[in-house]
Amino acid sequence: MNSPSSKLFVRTELIPAKAPPLSEIGLTKWVRENLFSNTINSILTILSLFLIYWLLAQILPWITQGVWEADSLNECRKLRESIGENTNVACWAVINERWNQLLFGFYPPESYWRPIFALILFGFAISPVLFTTVRKELYILTFTSPFLCYWLLWGDSIWGPVSAAFSFLLGILLFQQISRSKLSILSVPITFVFVVSYWFFLLTPVAEQLDSFIPISLTYIPSKEFGGFMLALIIGITGIILSLPIGILLALGRQSKLLVINKICVFFIEIIRGVPLIVWLFTASLLLNYFLPPGTNFDLMLRVVIMVTLFASAYMAEVIRGGLAALPVGQHEGSSSLGLNYWQSMRLIILPQALKISIPGIVNTFIGLFKDTTLVVFIGLLDPIGLSNAIRATTDWNGIYWELFIFIGLLFFVCCFSMSRYSQFLERRLQTEHR
């Protein structure tokens, strides 16, 4: 009990906040918690720092003091000796001299602007798909860019790609009409048959008629002159773009209650996944011609693109099927209660959620596909690896090794790392769970 003389005191103002100790904020906190949290971690951190220092001390001089101006490996070696006896530095001159060849293969130098412009065009076309902040008017460019890029790269008459684009436009309109009818379940196969029939019977006559009225063309460049990193980009980007929708259809077909569609999709997926990609590439290169009519000219690069796309789509189908299986049954029941048909339910409710779940697996498949483009060297296409072998086989650069493969590896790393970072960005943007 307080004495009568004691007085009660209530503070009327807040105590001013004090800065937290340095050990609890910023870099100091991170270092203490992650690098020196205990004795074992401290020892491992010190050993790791020493190892990193030793590696950098060995590698950095080799990279930074390299020779950039030389016409041959022998000249590089003479310049090395001028720096110091037994000096070991990189001979980057091979990259400097064969830069265009590594990037474009045997593409005509006067036409280098065409693949460069096609790449820039593709960048603008894909931007509204990747980023929501980009103006939606660019979707027109998204639809037309595949045909324009094809025309820029291969050349010849522009009306061939225009006629092909027209067939897809008619296919989209036909799909929309059938999906609203009682035959909605058959909308995909009917649209597919229509587009394929157009390509076989109408594409060339329509293109020739248009070309006779308004001739617009570029110099034709055959596929055998494509090579280098440009070839890897063409095969990789085409395979990535086409494998996703095909994989979605295969995943839906594998879950279909229609026995024929289900078994066809299962058979396709298991056959494709059960055989290595290199075998399918040899099949496309050597065996496919035996099953085609005599005199049929089926471009090797087109055959490779088809095989790479089908191979990736089989893996993509299983990734997406995993996303579909992760959704609760209530999502399907809820879409049915809203009166949506099958394709509306998939487009508006089911697939957006399934694809969101499957983002890591989808991007992982994309990265694997892009790296697998180097396998085309075994069937005679001069990708960056194939060109590096050709360069090292010349008398000027016979004996060069690390410089070429480091450069090629860096190009692939930049592309794959960019896809990985975009995947993480997309996951964060689509994150809706409360944490």
Q: Under CATH, which number does the domain 96-156+223-429 receive?
A: 1.10.3720.10
Distance, CA of 184 to CA of 179 (rounded, Å) = 4
For strand 217-218 and strand 156-157, is the pairing parallel, antiparallel, or unpaired?
antiparallel
298 backbone φψ class: left, alpha, beta (φ>0; ψ -120 to 50): beta
Distance, CA of 312 to CA of 261 (rounded, Å) = 20
Domains of the chain, by residue range, sit at 22-64, 96-156+223-429, 157-218
Q: How far is CA 302 from the centre of its chain?
A: 18
Token pair listed for 287? 């065996």
Contacts of 109 (CB under 8 A, 6+ apart): 100
pLDDT of residue 23: 61
pLDDT of residue 317: 93
Q: Residues 305, 310, 315, 317: is their CA dihedral positive or negative?
A: positive
Terminal C-alpha separation, the chain: 48
Distance, CA of 312 to CA of 315 (rounded, Å) = 5
Distance, CA of 389 to CA of 398 (rounded, Å) = 10
pLDDT in tens, the chain (435 residues): 455 555 666 777 777 777 766 566 677 778 888 888 888 988 999 999 999 999 998 888 888 888 888 888 888 888 777 766 556 788 888 888 888 889 998 999 999 999 999 999 999 888 888 887 777 777 888 888 889 999 999 988 999 899 888 888 888 888 888 877 777 777 778 888 888 888 888 888 888 888 888 888 899 999 888 988 999 999 999 999 999 999 999 998 888 888 888 899 999 999 999 999 998 888 888 776 666 666 666 788 888 898 999 999 999 999 999 988 888 888 877 887 887 777 778 888 888 888 888 899 999 999 999 999 988 888 888 888 888 888 888 888 888 888 889 999 999 999 999 999 999 998 888 876 654
pLDDT of residue 6: 58
Q: How far is CA 282 from the centre of its chain?
A: 23
| Residue among 249, 245, 158, 255 at smallest CA distance from 208 | 158
pLDDT of residue 363: 92
pLDDT of residue 115: 93
